[in-house]
Amino acid sequence: MKKIMLFEPGLSTDNLGDQIIVDGVKAAFKQIMDGAFIIEISTHMPIYNRHMKHCEKADLKIICGSNLLVGNLGSYLHFRQWPINLYTAQSLKPCVLVGVGAQKYGQHIGAYTAHIYKRILSSEFMHSVRDSFTEEQLRSVGINNVINTGCPTMWGLTSKKCSKVPSRKGKDVIFTLTDYKPDRKRDQYLIDVLRKEYEDIYFWVQGSRDYEYLKTLDNIESIKIVSPSLQGYDSFLENTKNIDYVGTRLHGGMRALQHEKRTIILGIDNRAIELNKDYNIPVIEQKNLSDLHNLINDTWGTEIKLPTEAIKKFLGQFGITYVSE
């Protein structure tokens, strides 16, 4: 029996968006995972000796999405993403990236970090990255076996699927905020716009401190809280009709699109902005927030430009057939 190891952000996480990413990876690899023994290790925790034993015996090692690629693995900040080092890299290799992204704009991958990435990453397989920005980051340090496939959460958003997303404003709205990128002026404006445009307003707590942040804002008395779990969010989206998603959480928006809900993601970092540039994910940048009223009320279709051939090429390495329609 084959053993597949997943290095995944959905374990030991305070951000439910990580679970949405991992769901996308598991759905994409279902054809080969169904008959394999799956070992899952959190990318939020250090790699211990007991994990290394599994690493050495795994037939395939997959690194699942999120902002794992950083400029400096020697800095304290990288521990928020994936705490790996030169010692653990030897046991981890060879791994395959699936929809992985760069942490932020402005970072430069240093020599030490590039050395670790080259040691960890497979030279046999192509690696899937989330966007052109991430692809350029890896190629800049000589890692050229990369292909831009977008995020696995969008691989099921085919033209047929997108055609089912409403083109007109819904009656109600569910929104999100991001506790670690607070902007009181921006987020208060968002809430005030939603109160004017929609009848009932719901809030989903994607991050562990999002609710506490919400409570620091004004005019929130009538806002209804959705169960703070992925299961609760899925149930709400599945059973609630005529509702839009508007919010700063990228993967909260991607999940809404998976449920065929009209979605507007407020781009507050490189992830949403780059996915919009590459694939036309419905994003409004915060510098254009004054246009939110018009965007909500305009009629427009969801037309995501999937990199179908890139996804087919990447998954085909593992004998997986990608069905684009």
Domains, the chain? 3-155+307-316 (3.40.50), 159-297 (3.40.50.2000)
224: CB partners within 8 A, 6+ apart: 200, 201, 202, 203
Confidence of residue 140 (pLDDT cuts 50, 70, 90): very high
Query: How does the average pLDDT of the chain come out, rounded?
Result: 94
Confidence of residue 76 (pLDDT cuts 50, 70, 90): low
The alpha carbon of 155 is separated from its chain's Cα centroid by a whole number of angstroms, namely 12
pLDDT of residue 298: 98
Smallest Cα–Cα separation from 131: which of 207, 69, 218? 69
Strands 172-176 and 146-148: unpaired
| pTM, to two decimals | 0.95
194: CB partners within 8 A, 6+ apart: 173, 175, 201, 246
Q: Is the pLDDT of residue 79 over 60?
A: no
Confidence of residue 25 (pLDDT cuts 50, 70, 90): very high
- Report pLDDT digits (tens) over 39-71: 999 998 887 777 777 787 899 999 998 888 988
Examine residue 94 and say whether the peptide bond preceding it is cis (omega within 30 degrees of 0): yes
Q: Is the pLDDT of residue 34 over 70?
A: yes
Within the chain, residue ranges assigned H as helices are 17-28, 30-33, 49-57, 86-92, 111-120, 132-139, 159-162, 184-197, 210-214, 230-239, 250-258, 270-279, 292-297, 308-316
pLDDT of residue 123: 96
Paired tokens of 258: 């998976």
Tell me how far apart the alpha carbons of residues 155 and 322 are, in angstroms, rounded to a whole number.
Answer: 9
Q: Is the pLDDT of residue 77 over 60?
A: no
Confidence of residue 73 (pLDDT cuts 50, 70, 90): confident
Tell me how far apart the alpha carbons of residues 73 and 33 are, in angstroms, rounded to a whole number.
Answer: 31
Euclidean distance between the first and the last CA atom of the chain, given in angstroms as a whole number: 31
Q: What is the mean pLDDT of residues 23-47?
A: 94
Q: What is the mean pLDDT of residues 106-112?
A: 87
Q: What is the mean pLDDT of residues 136-160?
A: 97
Tell me how far apart the alpha carbons of residues 98 and 28 are, in angstroms, rounded to a whole number.
Answer: 10
Q: Which residues pair with 283 in a beta bridge?
A: 265
Task: Look at the block and give the residue holding tokens 């699927």.
Answer: 161
pLDDT of residue 85: 84
323: CB partners within 8 A, 6+ apart: none
Smallest Cα–Cα separation from 301: which of 141, 160, 120, 203? 160
Task: Look at the block and give the residue holding tokens 């928006």.
Answer: 253
> Residues 228-260, buried b or exposed e (16+ Cβ, 10 A)?
bebeebbebbeebeebbbbbbbbbbbbbbbbbb
Tell me how far apart the alpha carbons of residues 115 and 127 are, in angstroms, rounded to a whole number.
Answer: 17
- Report pLDDT digits (tens) over 269-316: 989 999 999 999 999 999 999 999 999 999 999 999 999 999 999 999
Paired tokens of 58: 């795994």
Q: How many Cβ atoms are within 10 Å of 154's Cβ, its own excluded? A: 23
